[in-house]
Amino acid sequence: MKYFKWWILDIILTVFLFAVLFLEGLKNLHFEIGNPLISAVAIVGTVPVIYSAIRSVYNKKISIDLLASIALIFSLVQHEWLSAIFINLMLTSARLLLAYNEARARRNLDHLLKLKPKTIKIKTEDGIVEIKYSDVKVGDIVLVDLGERVPVDGTVLSGTASLDESSLTGESIPVNKKAGNKVASSSLVVSGNLMIKTEKAEGDTTLEKIIKMVEKAQIDKPDIHTVADKFATWYLTAIFSITIILFFFTKNVSLVLAVLLVVCADDIAVAMPLTFLTAISFCARKGIIIKGASFLEALRDVKVVFVDKTGTLTKGKLKVERFVSDSKDQTSALKYAGICSELSDHPMSKAIVAFSANLKEKNEKMPDSFNETSGNGVLAIFDKKELVFGKQSFLEMNKVKISEDILSKAKEEEEKGFNVTFLSYDGVYIGYFVIADEVKENIKDSIEKLKLLGVEKIIMLTGDNERVAKRIKEVAGITGYYANLLPAQKLEHIRESLNKKYKVAMVGDGINDAAALSLADVGIAMGAIGYDVAIESADIVLVKDDFSRVPEMIEISKYVMKIAEQDFWIWGFSNLAGLGLVFTGILAPTGASAFNFLTDFLPLINSTRVFQVYLKNRI
């Protein structure tokens, strides 16, 4: 971490600087202190600043430390020892504050590291043995009991349990797991126990990937910090020009030095990253992994959001919206349709199973025969009576007549973007299922919030047909869509929106949308942790599959930038006030340095004042 290896020296130096100022204050009470001590402390405090300035020049960069070092050198040459001490005190304090905030961010990372167990119980041919966490391998059978954390990513082989996944998702409500379900590392077993087959072990688990992403995010330099460095280039040029002109006309070295001491701006270079560092750390603990502060900043300027349909706007799971029938004897047919659907792998069959679940009885008998025709439907026999469900053509092929009136109504449903599956029993038409991919509950509210935050276009990209896309648009409240798209066509629509004055975001599940996530200015993968392609391609990873986090992140970004802009305004006004006091003769160099020392804490305090409270209350 920057400055971190110097923090002990900075503490010692700060103590000495305060001591010298205290003793110099006592000088007015007739307690004399020799100038050699003051000058020695001033010179020693100047060394790290000059070292930093030399490094920036060596790296062909003009940094704020260069201005600070020039002001310090002027102070030393003019024997303005107290001025040098005030500036050094400000710089050491700023470095310590930055080190403290970096250490605090590191504690958030340490919180994640503590979730890694030291030992794991696995099942072997010799029974249950305990091994080191680092020794677990893919394929090992891991046992996790009540109160323990899941140490690996894998699939439940046996057992049932409720897992607290808040360490990953930020969601405190436990999730029930049973055989066949996927589980992620660091989840806490709050009831029950599980036997898990390891699919990802040390170095490759969900927890390990989150830790790596957080580490990378914390060392990523925010663009606004880069802006501060760019600002330093023209700012230094302007200050040098002004001071040269000022000296040319006044020949007053003290006045020039006082101006330099007032406008020394190292505080703004420290204040800028503090807000971002706090935001990224808190977001990480809430299941929002932001790979770099530059992406958090870019969210503020997002005006166009492209969204994938399946798994993003919709649940990716078909649901029977309703069953349309005039038949008085539909119960048996629906019950048998549910039984047959359990034997099918078709997505629509799973929807019918869920719809008819309350009609079936325990130990329900299986059909006498069962035949599924791929892409058409199912024909089964119960007690010598045929049950047929599927497409219209499939029922007609099996000599089931459907009236024109019913077909007309079914076509209307299809034109609205629904799928229709017809059902008959014993040669008689019974009714039809209206089936659709279910839109997530909070989508419409989230879309409205995006619009309120200034997002002008929310556009769905989907390979589905026009009718389906239109229905989703109306239900979700998005502004537009492109349907019948191939993957390459999705990329083309994103590419056309890039390189504008605004930013473009892409939201997807991260599995099929990897290229689109990479192409957009900000790629956001939802609920994709555990999928390597999502983690690699996305700029922001939402551990929990929750679209409401998207407007929330934009809101946080706007707040971050608001704090950063306030820092610049505070710094600018304090500088103007200081210059006014210098040019009116109220502040000499020593007073100017004291003024700089006191006012330079204002942007630093502003960067940390309420942001933590905001994040705790709003995320």
Q: 3-state SS string over 204-266?
A: CCHHHHHHHHHHHHHHCCCHHHHHHHHHHHHHHHHHHHHHHHHHHHHCCHHHHHHHHHHHCCH
3-state SS class at 143:
strand
Same-domain status, 347 and 412 = yes
What are 190's two structure tokens? 């709050």
Same-domain status, 473 and 602 = no
Same-domain status, 334 and 428 = yes
Q: How many CB atoms lie within 10 A of CB 515?
A: 16
* Cross-strand pairs, 437: 318
Cα dihedral: 246, 249, 253, 259 (round 10): -20
Q: What integer pLDDT is reported at residue 448 of this predicted model? A: 96
Which CATH number goes with the domain that contains 463? Answer: 3.40.50.1000
- H/E element, 312: none
550 domain residue, yes or no: no
Q: Distance between CA 281 and CA 215 in Å, rounded?
A: 10
Same-domain status, 257 and 305 = no
72-107 residues labelled b (16+ CB within 10 A) or e (exposed): bbbbbeeebbbbbbbbbbbbbbbbbbbbebbeebbe
**Is 319:438 a contact under the CB 8 Å cutoff?**
yes
115 domain residue, yes or no: no
Q: What integer pLDDT is reported at residue 4 of this predicted model? A: 43
Laid out side by side, the sheet with 457-461 consists of 288-290, 540-542, 522-526, 503-508, 302-308, 457-461, 480-482
Residue ranges in the chain whose pLDDT is less than 70: 1-7, 10, 17-42, 44-46, 53, 56-57, 59-67, 94, 97-98, 100-115, 166-173, 212-233, 265-270, 360-363, 510-512, 528-535, 609-619
Residues near 411 by beta carbon (within 8 Å), at least 6 away in sequence = none
Query: Is 509 one of the annotated active-site residues of the chain?
Result: no
What one-character-per-residue DSSP string does 159-205 give?
--EEEE-HHHH---S-EEE-TT-EE-TT-EEEEE-EEEEEEE-TTTS
Residue whose token pair is 């390459």: 488
Q: What integer pLDDT is reported at residue 2 of this predicted model? A: 44
Of 538, 570, 586, the last residue of a domain is: 538
Q: What integer pLDDT is reported at residue 354 of this predicted model? A: 87
Q: Distance between CA 595 and CA 267 in Å, rounded?
A: 13
Same-domain status, 234 and 101 = yes
Same-domain status, 225 and 168 = no
Residue whose token pair is 């994040």: 615
Burial of 5 (C-beta count, 10 Å sphere; 0-12/13-18/19+): exposed
Of 174, 201, 228, the last residue of a domain is: 201
Same-domain status, 399 and 427 = yes
Of 503, 538, 573, the last residue of a domain is: 538
Same-domain status, 225 and 97 = yes
Same-domain status, 422 and 526 = no
351 domain residue, yes or no: yes
**Is 373:398 a contact under the CB 8 Å cutoff?**
no
Laid out side by side, the sheet with 175-177 consists of 175-177, 161-164, 188-192
286 domain residue, yes or no: no
Per-residue HEC secondary structure of 85-136 comes to: HHHHHHHHHHHHHHHHHHHHHHHHHHHHHCCCCCEEEEEECCEEEEEEHHHC
Residues near 310 by beta carbon (within 8 Å), at least 6 away in sequence = 316, 437, 462, 509
Residues near 166 by beta carbon (within 8 Å), at least 6 away in sequence = 172, 188
Q: Distance between CA 461 and CA 46 in Å, rounded?
A: 58
* Cross-strand pairs, 305: 458, 505
**Stated pTM of the model:** 0.72
Which CATH number goes with the domain that contains 364? Answer: 3.40.1110.10
Residues near 581 by beta carbon (within 8 Å), at least 6 away in sequence = 587, 591, 592, 595
Which CATH number goes with the domain that contains 170? Answer: 2.70.150.10
Residues near 609 by beta carbon (within 8 Å), at least 6 away in sequence = none
Q: How many CB atoms lie within 10 A of CB 249?
A: 8
Q: Distance between CA 271 and CA 228 in Å, rounded?
A: 10
Same-domain status, 143 and 267 = no
* Cross-strand pairs, 164: 188
17 domain residue, yes or no: yes
53 domain residue, yes or no: yes
What are 400's two structure tokens? 């089931």
Residues near 591 by beta carbon (within 8 Å), at least 6 away in sequence = 258, 581
**Which domain covers residue 273, as residue numbers?**
4-109+214-279+557-618
Burial of 384 (C-beta count, 10 Å sphere; 0-12/13-18/19+): exposed
Residue whose token pair is 């500036």: 87
Cα dihedral: 237, 238, 244, 249 (round 10): 170
Same-domain status, 307 and 333 = no
Same-domain status, 426 and 445 = no
What are residue 496's phi and psi, to 5 degrees?
Answer: -65, -25
The one catalytic residue in 10, 266, 308, 513 is: 308
207 domain residue, yes or no: no
Q: What integer pLDDT is reported at residue 381 of this predicted model? A: 92
What's the domain count of the chain? 4
130 domain residue, yes or no: no
Bridging pattern class, strands 161-164 and 153-158: unpaired
Q: Distance between CA 169 and CA 542 in Å, rounded?
A: 8
What are residue 567's phi and psi, to 5 degrees?
Answer: -60, -45
